[in-house]
């Protein structure tokens, strides 16, 4: 091949790379606007080009691949996200072994581990998720500057993991470290800090400390709505989280308004068959039950369960949780045979995914046993 042909090939590859970088930037912009579907198409095209031109282990290739994975998470496609993050981790470990490390490589490596750990946690693969998240933190502390934003993210991710595994004191400690680091880096009103506010409200909700969680949730809504506008999916998630705390506090009118606002946003953005839609249907069902509107609650729970089964699969712990909640409602309505079917379906899901001693599993077992024993 002549020198001119080599030059032409190099120029063509450079043009492809430049185009892929443009597509990545456009995908990021669409994602920021809440258009995950269009963002995914552009990011996937950019990723394929960079893999071909730069190789899978190049940090730019891994960075774009990780955006595709993150978008898969937002669409509740955890299997696809896990596969993509695993590719990034493996490719970057090969690059680190062959070419040595640098801060850009270490940063993308840490972010890939974070994404993998979070996706495993979202898929209820808790035993696999925790060591990956700890590995991400160790890599961040070893390879990034002290106090770096990605170290704060790793701490935040471990807090989330502890929330889902009912290790509340550990979770609060991880969150406290993350919040102090993030505030020192970017101040109290930054989007990165809003994510930690959201999670602090979430862990208090899960622990049943609704009054303690409400100020964190309100702060998260305030910061993100100011930065992103009222119709962004991240704002809707914050509004839904606030609604759950208000529900727990008995502030039902405000809670219902928040749930319906969030549900309308998610249905507009994602259509009816999406995790966020199902989750908000379930939360609204809980609220209606608390207000004594049992028939309305039953209809909402049935929709939520059916949607979650389609989106997450039959064996996901959230399916088990919602079926247990539906069983409780049916029991209260005197529909004992239907309640028993829901408890009998929910318990093995929760036992296999959360473990036999998890508080949610124990509650479901007690509800089932109480139903089968009948009135004393």
For the cut 80, the answer to whether the pLDDT of residue 122 exceeds it is yes
**193 contacts 209 by C-beta, under 8 angstroms:** no
In order of 260, 338, 371, the CA distances from 334 in angstroms are: 28, 9, 11
Q: How confident is the model at residue 58 (pLDDT cuts 50, 70, 90)?
A: very high
Residue for token pair 């999670």: 199
Own/partner pairs for 25-30, CB < 8 Å, 24+ apart?
A: 27/67, 28/67
Q: How confident is the model at residue 360 (pLDDT cuts 50, 70, 90)?
A: confident
Joined tokens for residue 40: 């995914």
Min mean pLDDT across 197-206, 225-234, 251-260, 311-320 is at 311-320
For the cut 60, the answer to whether the pLDDT of residue 6 exceeds it is no
Q: How confident is the model at residue 10 (pLDDT cuts 50, 70, 90)?
A: low
Min mean pLDDT across 27-41, 73-87, 233-247, 358-372 is at 27-41
Query: Can you list the domains of the chain with their CATH numbers?
Result: 14-144 (1.25.40.10), 146-268 (1.25.40.10), 271-376 (1.25.40.10)
pLDDT for res 215:
98
pLDDT for res 106:
95
pLDDT for res 376:
53
For the cut 90, the answer to whether the pLDDT of residue 259 exceeds it is yes
Q: What is the mean pLDDT of the chain?
A: 91
Residue 172's contacts (CB-CB under 8 Å, 6 or more residues apart) are 159, 200, 203
């Amino acid at each position: 091949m002549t020198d001119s042909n080599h030059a032409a090939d190099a120029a063509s590859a450079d043009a492809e790379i430049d185009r892929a970088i443009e597509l990545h930037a456009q995908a990021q912009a669409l994602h920021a606007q809440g258009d995950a579907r269009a963002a995914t198409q552009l990011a996937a095209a950019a990723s394929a080009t960079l893999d071909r031109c730069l190789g899978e282990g190049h940090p730019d290739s891994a960075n774009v691949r990780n955006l595709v994975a993150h978008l898969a998470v937002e669409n509740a496609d955890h299997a696809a996200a896990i596969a993509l993050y695993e590719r990034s981790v493996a490719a970057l470990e090969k690059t680190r072994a062959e070419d040595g490390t640098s801060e850009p490589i270490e940063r993308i490596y840490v972010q890939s581990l974070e994404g993998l750990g979070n996706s495993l946690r979202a898929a209820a693969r808790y035993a696999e998720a925790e060591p990956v998240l700890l590995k991400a933190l160790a890599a961040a502390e070893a390879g990034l500057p002290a106090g770096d934003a990605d170290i704060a993210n790793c701490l935040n991710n471990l807090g989330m993991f502890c929330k889902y595994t009912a290790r509340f004191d550990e979770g609060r400690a991880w969150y406290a470290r993350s919040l102090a680091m993030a505030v020192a880096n970017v101040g109290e009103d930054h989007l990165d800090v809003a994510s930690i506010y959201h999670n602090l409200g979430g862990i208090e909700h899960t622990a049943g400390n609704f009054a303690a969680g409400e100020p964190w949730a309100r702060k998260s809504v305030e910061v993100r709505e100011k930065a992103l506008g009222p119709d962004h999916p991240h704002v809707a998630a914050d509004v839904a989280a606030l609604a759950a705390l208000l529900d727990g506090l008995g502030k039902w009118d405000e809670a219902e308004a928040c749930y319906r606002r969030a549900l309308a946003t998610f249905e507009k953005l994602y259509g009816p068959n999406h995790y966020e839609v199902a989750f908000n249907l379930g939360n609204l069902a809980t609220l209606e039950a608390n207000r004594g509107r049992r028939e309305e609650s039953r209809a909402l729970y049935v929709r939520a369960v059916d949607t979650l089964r389609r989106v997450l699969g039959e064996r996901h712990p959230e399916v088990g949780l919602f079926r247990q909640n539906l069983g409780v409602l049916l029991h209260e309505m005197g529909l004992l045979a239907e309640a028993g079917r829901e408890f009998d379906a929910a318990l093995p899901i929760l036992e296999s995914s959360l473990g036999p001693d998890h508080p949610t599993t124990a509650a479901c077992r007690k509800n089932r046993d109480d139903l089968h024993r009948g009135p004393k």
